[in-house]
């Protein structure tokens, strides 16, 4: 089995005895084969719009406004390349050399000038990646009020689980990390009533992505048929769980969540934290 097939089948791969150049080739091939789900064409992570924005205003250039998925993948690869660049005294791969090697895998260029511009943009992104995904105070203060910006994404899922509704409720409320591996730490900061609390969770979906802190208020209720509803709300975060018995020992779980994945800025977290931690009226 080829290295590419091993990496794609989901099993753990021992890279300790694999040539570093083979690993690099497989990684670059993976990025070249990313396909846009709408057009079914190759997805350019370093798009011409990004390169044009970089050329027009290098001083205020950021990657905050690009689509969520594109931004997260770019953030992972840029932090990875920045880590390699930080050891250039050993591996000879500084940001300039990395940009030359990686630009063809991240951007489709038509001609030498576009290739040169893309390489300069990628080199800058590698050197500046710690600040490219942070919303500045000036930008935040000039943006529209939060109430004018509806949450952009909604995801819905259902599943039948072999256990009772109360077990599911306990898992959602007090064992959240067991159903969401991106939660690296959580706490209940305040119990507002017997069926509501303030919940804080710290998320990290990749070692190359920053930790995101999300504060939500949770409310839950159980009706006479032992059906359970859990409502969670927070800054740029809305979630609803519906848990209902489906015969003995079986439970139907439906989950709807809508959130903005851009909760990376320090100001976004700190300016909202106090108001979420204030005790609210009992439902």
Q: What is the per-residue pLDDT across 122-169, written as a single tens digit (0 to 9) for each?
A: 999 999 988 887 765 555 444 444 445 555 567 888 999 898 999 999
Q: What's residue 239's pLDDT?
A: 92
Whether residue 26 is contained in a domain is answered as: no
Same domain, 165 and 123: no
Same domain, 124 and 200: no
Token duo for residue 259: 């959130």
Same domain, 241 and 209: yes
Q: Which SS3 state, helix, strand or coil, does residue 99 take?
A: helix
The CATH number for 124's domain is 1.10.555.10
Residue 192 burial (C-beta neighbours within 10 Å; 0-12, 13-18, 19+): middle
Q: Rounded to whole angstroms, how far apart are CA atoms 46 and 77?
A: 11
Q: What's residue 274's pLDDT?
A: 36
What is the domain count for the chain? 2
Q: Which residue bears the tokens 């660049």?
A: 85
Same domain, 178 and 257: yes
Whether residue 96 is contained in a domain is answered as: yes
**What is the percent of the chain where pLDDT is above 70?**
82
Q: How confident is the model at residue 100 (pLDDT cuts 50, 70, 90)?
A: very high
Q: Rounded to whole angstroms, how far apart are CA atoms 57 and 138?
A: 16
Whether residue 233 is contained in a domain is answered as: yes
pTM of the model: 0.64
Note whether 63 and 76 are within 8 A (CB): no
Residue 127's domain comprises 34-133
Q: What's residue 281's pLDDT?
A: 41
Tell me, letter by letter, the H, E, C secondary structure of 121-185. Answer: HHHHHHHHHHHHCCCCHHHHHHCCCHHHCCCCCCEEEEEEECCCHHHHHHHHHHCHHHCCCCEEE
Same domain, 272 and 171: yes
Whether residue 242 is contained in a domain is answered as: yes
Same domain, 169 and 49: no
């Amino acid at each position: 089995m080829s290295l590419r097939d091993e990496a794609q089948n989901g099993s753990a791969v021992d890279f300790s005895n694999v040539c570093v150049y083979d690993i690099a080739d497989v990684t670059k091939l993976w990025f070249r084969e990313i396909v846009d789900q709408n057009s079914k064409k190759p997805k350019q992570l370093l798009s011409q719009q990004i390169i044009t924005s970089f050329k027009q205003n290098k001083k205020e250039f950021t990657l905050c406004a690009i689509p969520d998925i594109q931004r997260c993948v770019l953030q992972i690869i840029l932090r990875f390349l920045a880590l390699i660049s930080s050891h250039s005294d050993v591996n000879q791969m500084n940001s300039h050399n990395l940009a030359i090697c990686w630009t063809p895998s991240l951007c489709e260029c038509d001609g030498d000038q576009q290739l040169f511009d893309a390489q300069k943009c990628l080199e800058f992104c590698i050197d500046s990646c710690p600040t490219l995904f942070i919303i500045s105070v000036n930008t935040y203060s000039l943006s529209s009020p939060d109430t004018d910006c509806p949450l952009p994404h909604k995801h819905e899922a259902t599943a039948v689980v072999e256990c009772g509704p109360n077990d599911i409720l306990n898992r959602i409320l007090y064992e959240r990390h067991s159903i969401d591996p991106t939660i690296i730490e959580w706490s209940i900061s305040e119990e507002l009533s017997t069926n509501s609390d303030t919940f804080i969770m710290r998320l990290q979906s990749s070692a190359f992505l920053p930790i995101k802190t999300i504060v939500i208020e949770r409310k839950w209720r159980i009706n006479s048929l032992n059906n359970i509803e859990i409502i969670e709300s927070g800054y740029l975060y809305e979630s609803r769980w519906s848990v209902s018995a489906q015969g003995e020992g079986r439970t139907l779980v439906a989950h709807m969540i809508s959130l903005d994945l851009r909760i990376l800025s320090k100001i976004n977290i700190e300016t909202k934290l106090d108001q979420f931690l204030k005790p609210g009226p009992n439902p």
